[in-house]
Chains A and B, each alone.
Chain A
């Protein structure tokens, strides 16, 4: 039992605090809840009988929740009538994961949360055995409020393979192990430059690879939904690769080219001076739970795109949280990585309004700094025309787009995703303009920028016209032909949203603008190795008795 921190719960003090906050959010008595949760733990440990527990709290619960609160009462009754008591009841939902557990709580009302929360960590062991401390220590039962994922704008991808290279470098991958893969394709004979697919692992919410794994090596990290492979557990049966409909898995068929020592040395060097979280191991291989899930796989086990857990765990410093190597490397900013549960994250806002996202990313280079604006505007009049004339880096078109972005964006400049930084740059520029005396929300400016209708004589000015702003952005940046998830009918619930053309069932890969062999990755041992498109060609060198023929 991990009782050192005086917490009654095997998940520790942190969980307990979280529990308390959660109860605080309900309209019910937190103290009673905490006390009940504590006693619930005692029941699961066998220190308190269930009958006593029910006895002790029945009246309190009835009083607290009242008879009118049907779901609550039902939940409590349900728990009582269940043969094994609530621990058993909770156990029955345990294996279905966090989501359904939360769903159940919602369904049964706050009452269930109230009486049951404390038992979750112990639910595995049931009422007669020790709480499942192992599971608790692994963090199996923590709340998931983050689901990492991406929005990928296929129409902006120029096929340069920078992301593929960055991924290989970040993870020290063998040749042909293309966790990130970019391909051009022909669909029904039509080949346009827009037919391109960027294909990392989709980090599916309902991942078939995880479902079929005979060892739980392939698993979903509870706190952030990353689908990872525990390299210490995997037996290399390759069933995950078979079950994944996207073909994103790469088995480590032989001894990897880069040693773990090289990887660790590189990690020490690169991660050393960051303000990294001290809990996170420093080797770019173990994640915050201490499981070996990051960087290239060792021999005989499975690997695939990880979405950079070391970064997400803060191992590369706070700035790297919420970024991936491929996202950072993409010159046209086609990859947006972030929290899919958060409507204001980069991927969600981008997918929600791609024209806005594109325009924002394009305009960032042209947004003048506040200082430059101040200098330029010194002495100029404060009407729109004079301001535009006086400032060197700001023309009417740029200002129109900047303003249009602001108009269509809720909570402009708030948050900490990378697109919000772009927004903040605009906010600063706007502040400089306002300080100079230009009222950007005035009729003069908005009408002048074609972002509002001029009111009729007897009407009042009714502010910016959102649809006009949107049209400005669409005209500027264009809108993707569609917004899709790959192989949606496979029921995988992928966490990647694509913008652009969806490949049809007859799509066939064709050569892209840049050949894999022409791009070199710099690896941890100091070597520079060209990428390889087809791994089989690399592996054939080791095949015993390779006849050079195929069945």
Chain B
């Protein structure tokens, strides 16, 4: 608890510090990503046989596995992140302003991880560009996979634009305090390599544009809020599965809303973890306050409830008077640890969150973190189970090799570590370049915009201290 009034210095701190812990974390994350890259190279050299996958049917396995499960998981985190940040801007949920940019960055990181998974999953990633772009005008009419690639690309661009727009404001104001990087290579002094980046980002900036940018951001946020449920995790991603009538566990309209709840729960969890990490690392107790965590937890609880509710729908319709293929698919859910486990985890989190709203003393940041971790684990496992269970219980289940066998190979498991490492690296690098908390948020917390900031501060202090007493 250093300063109690948020300041520009606070949000610049990540760029002005360089600690052993940072180096260590960087090294670990790089190692994780590096290890997976080696694994991937081996997979490219040997073929996909290094995975635990096989053909479904007489092939006795599943043809999509952890790679696709993790793909959905990362897209979910990404899409949820952007919805969260858009909601903050659109609905004026100023309370969460300090974490909005983190959520946006999480979107970019998550989309990158998801895109990487698409590559890793392919038998011939080298043909991605020629084969997909070359026939795009035909395949875009039919192939849900093409829709996915399209929408993911579109969202990457949209989010990057969005982030870029809001960054202009900050960079223009904080320009003098932003880091420079002018290495001396072999006795030759290079110019500042970062300056061009900032210059491009703030190209042609004048104060007069702030209002316009505000409006633009608002419209982009509106577009995101509308498109996300329709197209993203409520749309093309679930449609990869939901449009196929030959898999009772996948087919049907419920997957849209179901996927959306998964996206939102995992994204909120991701933001909770990220916020906590930054708050701890840079003493941001007064910026990312306990109040934010309480609020995020409440939202998490709400989406956990929706998540379970939609699962319940599927269990009910799949077991009341099901067709033969549906019966098998649903029966598996009642007994398979990869389904039951995640459901209990989410239920546990839900119970905790509701309990702590009734008895605030039950709240602690540690528990909030645990809730986030539990939900992230639950959604990853559930999504992987979802993918596998399709192949395990297809309508045409005559084959001896069905349900097929599967256990992720070492390389597949390493991909999880690798992509988490990748996302951590993303944040480690980005936080050294640009403020991860918006200047707007600091101004807002200070009451620069005419809010009663005295009062705000009291509550900040209270909430920051309260749990430590209780815990």
Q: Could you list which residues of chain A lie within 8 angstroms of chain B, going by C-beta atoms? A: 95, 176, 178, 181, 183, 185, 197, 208, 211-217, 233-239, 241-255, 299-302, 487, 490-491, 503, 505-510, 533-537, 539, 542-547, 549-551
Are B56 and A241 closer than 8 Å at their CB atoms?
Answer: yes
Are A542 and B50 closer than 8 Å at their CB atoms?
Answer: yes
Given A176-B59, A508-B398, verify A543-B145 contact (CB < 8 Å). no
Interface centre among A181, A185, A197, A239, by most B CB within 10 Å? A239
Q: For residues 402 through 428 of chain B, which have their beta carbon under 8 Å from a beta carbon of chain A?
A: 402, 404-407, 409-411, 413
Query: Contacts of A243 on B, CB cut-off 8 Å?
Result: 244, 246
Query: Contacts of A542 on B, CB cut-off 8 Å?
Result: 46-47, 49-50
Are B42 and A544 closer than 8 Å at their CB atoms?
Answer: yes
Residue of B at shortest CB range from A247?
A: B57
Is B400 an interface residue, CB under 8 A from the partner?
yes
A interface SS class: loop
Query: Contacts of A510 on B, CB cut-off 8 Å?
Result: 400
Are B395 and A245 closer than 8 Å at their CB atoms?
Answer: yes
Are B138 and A216 closer than 8 Å at their CB atoms?
Answer: yes
Residue of A at shortest CB range from B413?
A: A545
Is B449 an interface residue, CB under 8 A from the partner?
no
Given A236-B123, A490-B245, A543-B49, verify A536-B64 contact (CB < 8 Å). no
Candidates B49, B56, B143; contact of A211 at CB < 8 Å? B143
Are A536 and B132 closer than 8 Å at their CB atoms?
Answer: no
Residue of B at shortest CB range from A550?
A: B405
Distance in angstroms between the alpha carbons of A244 and B410 in the assembled complex: 29
Are A551 and B406 closer than 8 Å at their CB atoms?
Answer: yes
What 3 A-B pairs come out closest when comparing CB atoms? A236-B123, A247-B57, A545-B410
Is B175 an interface residue, CB under 8 A from the partner?
no
Are A251 and B325 closer than 8 Å at their CB atoms?
Answer: no
Are B61 and A539 closer than 8 Å at their CB atoms?
Answer: yes
Interface string of B124-155 (1 = CB under 8 A from A): 11011001101100110111111001000000
Distance in angstroms between the alpha carbons of A265 and B6 in the assembled complex: 77
Is B226 an interface residue, CB under 8 A from the partner?
no
Residue of A at shortest CB range from B61?
A: A536
Candidates B47, B139, B149, B405; contact of A216 at CB < 8 Å? B139
Q: For residues 62 through 96 of chain B, which have their beta carbon under 8 Å from a beta carbon of chain A?
A: 63-64
Distance in angstroms between the alpha carbons of A213 and B143 in the assembled complex: 6
Are B56 and A247 closer than 8 Å at their CB atoms?
Answer: yes
Are A301 and B135 closer than 8 Å at their CB atoms?
Answer: no
B interface residues, how many (CB within 8 angstroms): 67
Query: Contacts of B122 on A, CB cut-off 8 Å?
Result: 235-237, 300
Are B54 and A539 closer than 8 Å at their CB atoms?
Answer: yes
Sample of 12 A–B contacts (CB below 8 Å):
A183-B400, A215-B131, A234-B131, A251-B48, A253-B48, A300-B122, A490-B245, A507-B398, A535-B58, A536-B60, A544-B411, A550-B405
Query: Contacts of A215 on B, CB cut-off 8 Å?
Result: 127, 131-132, 134-135, 139
Candidates B39, B244, B398; contact of A503 at CB < 8 Å? B398
Query: Contacts of A549 on B, CB cut-off 8 Å?
Result: 407
Is B177 an interface residue, CB under 8 A from the partner?
no
Distance in angstroms between the alpha carbons of A238 and B29 in the assembled complex: 31
Is B103 an interface residue, CB under 8 A from the partner?
no
Are B127 and A235 closer than 8 Å at their CB atoms?
Answer: yes
Are A238 and B60 closer than 8 Å at their CB atoms?
Answer: no
Distance in angstroms between the alpha carbons of A506 and B244 in the assembled complex: 20
Are A181 and B58 closer than 8 Å at their CB atoms?
Answer: yes
Candidates A216, A247, A300; contact of B402 at CB < 8 Å? A247
Are B394 and A253 closer than 8 Å at their CB atoms?
Answer: no
Known pairs A235-B124, A243-B246. 5 more at Cβ < 8 A?
A: A250-B55, A300-B47, A487-B396, A509-B398, A534-B401
Are B143 and A253 closer than 8 Å at their CB atoms?
Answer: no
Distance in angstroms between the alpha carbons of A300 and B123 in the assembled complex: 4
Residue of A at shortest CB range from B59?
A: A535
Are A212 and B55 closer than 8 Å at their CB atoms?
Answer: no
Distance in angstroms between the alpha carbons of A551 and B412 in the assembled complex: 14
Are B54 and A253 closer than 8 Å at their CB atoms?
Answer: yes
Query: Contacts of B3 on A, CB cut-off 8 Å?
Result: none
Given A300-B48, A490-B245, verify A544-B410 contact (CB < 8 Å). yes
Candidates B42, B50, B144; contact of A212 at CB < 8 Å? B144
- Shortest distance in angstroms between A257's beta carbon and chain B's nearest beta carbon? 12
Candidates B51, B60, B395; contact of A505 at CB < 8 Å? B395
Distance in angstroms between the alpha carbons of A551 and B385 in the assembled complex: 9
Distance in angstroms between the alpha carbons of A239 and B123 in the assembled complex: 12
